[in-house]
Amino acid sequence: MVAYDVFDDPYCYKGTSVLKNKARLRDAAELESFELEMTTLRSEEPLPLGNFDPAHYRKIHKHIFQDVYSWAGKDRTVRTAKGGNWFCYPENIKAAMDELFKGLEEPAFQPGAPATDFINSAAAFLGELNAIHPFREGNGRTQLAFLYLLGLRAGHPLNLNRIDRATFMPVMIESFSGSSTPLAAELAKLLV
């Protein structure tokens, strides 16, 4: 797990940076192992179907993390940052999500759109979604699961097993600054 910049975090056990969890684990390494095991098991199940809206996105997060966190599928209520970059403030998450997800009605996300159009639009969408960061933990995995479903719907399936963290993570960070071209290049590598 990557450390976030948060103060007086109600999601963590008092005096620690360990997220409160259903297994009541107080050790970060144990929680990380438990989370990986539980989310891996859930990833073997079909992802929830939906309307490709914020509610659908939240259902996917809940599905993946339901065994680990009681707040799975719920927007975070604290301000948080990573590497000095602040994510969307919690009071703005709902409006930002509603606005962003309207873009999924664009032709680039519909069946029959050219792969290049889909990839470029998906990269821009993913960069914005990452900047919103609606959940306290598990944003990246939820983003990729949702993107996988978007690719299937558009007729451009993605093989997420091809993700190379060494090249993917830096372009995700770069997308935070509004540059989605490198992220599009990484996503193109995932096309089946």
**CATH fold for the domain made of 28-188:** Fic-like fold (1.10.3290)
3-class state of residue 19 by DSSP: strand
> Model confidence over 77-128: pLDDT tens digits?
999 998 888 999 999 999 999 999 999 999 999 999 999 999 999 999 999 9
Question: What are the residue boundaries of the structural domains of the chain, listed by start?
Answer: 28-188
pTM of the full predicted structure? 0.93
